[in-house]
Amino acid sequence: FPGAEVKIGEGDEVLLRGPHIMDGYHNLPEETARALDGDGWLHTGDKGSLDADGFLTITGRIKELFKTSGGKYIAPPAIESKFKAICPYASQFMVFGAERNFVIALVTLDPDAMTGWAAENGMTGSSYTEIVRSDKVQAMVAGYVEELNARLNRWETIKRWELLDHDLTVESGELTPSMKVKRNVVEDTYKDTIDKLYA
């Protein structure tokens, strides 16, 4: 942004300041006070970093972040998208660990992709549940999680995970119509599974 100042604030929040930045919200002083600090810095709500050349990288939204019991911030969308880039069979990869001492994940695989996998691996005619519960698929997913962990900071690594025996759907209320995970619904629905991963 020509004429803009950019810095990284507390919690790695991206802050902007400059003549083109808003002066505030019209007739909303409380909202303005939340968005702009006393020095004129706009708190964007984005988490990011600046490299040595001054290039800004956005790594997530502050409200999407959670903090582990060890005080480390985790950006689930960044980890989740890395897993999906590594694993061609992934449908959903949901990371949890707020106020916990390590990070876990719930995994679902794409039913169509797994039908193709099953045909190539001697499991033609098997149900989705039978396929994902097989030792071969469990080992395959474990390999992808291991590959993911090699690309993460130590505190972000997935210590335990569970492969769900079905994919998430809009009909089940676990996905929005635009296919985004309703994290709070999934966390409530699979509370026992999540708790078991921390046992």
Which pLDDT score is estimated for 121?
Answer: 94
What is the bridge-based pairing of β-strands 66-67 and 73-74? antiparallel
Instruction: Tell me the range of 66-70, 75-79, 102-106 where mean pLDDT is highest.
Output: 102-106
Mean pLDDT of the region 137-163? 96
Q: Which among 114, 113, 96 has a CA at the least distance from the CA of 105?
A: 96
Alpha-carbon span 74 to 78, nearest angstrom = 9
Q: Where are the alpha helices (DSSP H) in 2-160?
A: 29-35, 76-86, 111-120, 128-133, 135-149
CB 6 within 8 A of CB 56: yes
Percentage of the chain lying above the pLDDT 90 cut: 57
Strand order in the sheet with 158-163: 90-96, 103-109, 158-163
Q: What is the mean pLDDT of the chain?
A: 90
For 90-124, what is each residue's pLDDT tens digit? 999 999 998 999 999 999 999 999 999 999 999 99
How far CA 148 is from CA of 27, 47, 68, 161, 199, in Å, comes to 47, 21, 19, 12, 23
Mean pLDDT of the region 47-67? 82
Domain 5-63 annotated CATH 2.30.38.10: yes
Domain span(s) for CATH 3.30.300.30 in the chain: 65-197
Q: Is the pLDDT of residue 164 over 70?
A: yes
Which pLDDT score is estimated for 1?
Answer: 65
Task: Report the length, in residues, of the chain.
Answer: 199
CB 95 within 8 A of CB 105: yes
Mean pLDDT of the region 47-52? 88
Q: Which residue has the higher pLDDT, 59 or 184?
A: 184
pLDDT band at 33 (very low <50, low <70, confident <90, very high): confident
Q: Is the pLDDT of residue 65 over 80?
A: no
Residue type, 165: D
Which pLDDT score is estimated for 106?
Answer: 97
Q: Is the pLDDT of residue 59 over 90?
A: no
Q: Is the pLDDT of residue 26 over 80?
A: yes
b vs e for 130-166, b when ≥16 Cβ sit within 10 Å of the residue's Cβ?
ebbeeeebeebbeebbeebbeebeeebbbeebebbee
The CATH number that domain 65-197 falls under is 3.30.300.30
Residue 107 burial (CB < 10 Å; 0-12/13-18/19+)? buried
pLDDT band at 8 (very low <50, low <70, confident <90, very high): very high
Q: Which among 194, 132, 192, 129 has a CA at the least distance from the CA of 160?
A: 194
Model's pTM, two decimal places?
0.71
